[in-house]
Amino acid sequence: MHLKTKMKTRKLAKLGLLLAGAAVLGGVVMLLWNWVMPGLVEGVAPIDYWRALGLLVLSRILFGGFRGRGHRHDHGQWQRWQKMTPEEREQFMQQCAQRDRPAQPNI
């Protein structure tokens, strides 16, 4: 197989897994909502699959965003802090105090 064909196959497989995962999660949200919410809050009606999927998307937008998994936290500052000697840390904290910035590194 050529490299391009493998890449396309992987992308299609990932897309398939993403869609299957979303379908399963939509079903789980529907089952949980229909099991918990009508008994917990008076007047709440059970929801169908598509409303559960919409609720899942809405919660992802409101609470999770669409960043994906490609973003990593920058631990470079923490690593630099860890490599500093106590004298270098003290000097860093003094320089930050002179600039009216917090003396703690951004961890």
Q: What pLDDT tens digit does each residue of the chain (107 aa) get? A: 677 788 889 899 999 999 999 899 999 999 999 999 999 999 999 999 999 999 988 988 888 765 655 555 556 788 888 888 999 989 988 888 888 756 565 55
Residues 54 and 86 in one domain: no
Residues 57 and 78 in one domain: no
Residue with tokens 């409101």: 62
Residues 20 and 45 in one domain: yes
pTM of the shown model: 0.54
- Residues spanned by the domain of 106: 74-107
Residues 56 and 89 in one domain: no
Give the Å distances, CA to CA, from 27 to 20, 50, 62.
Answer: 11, 9, 20
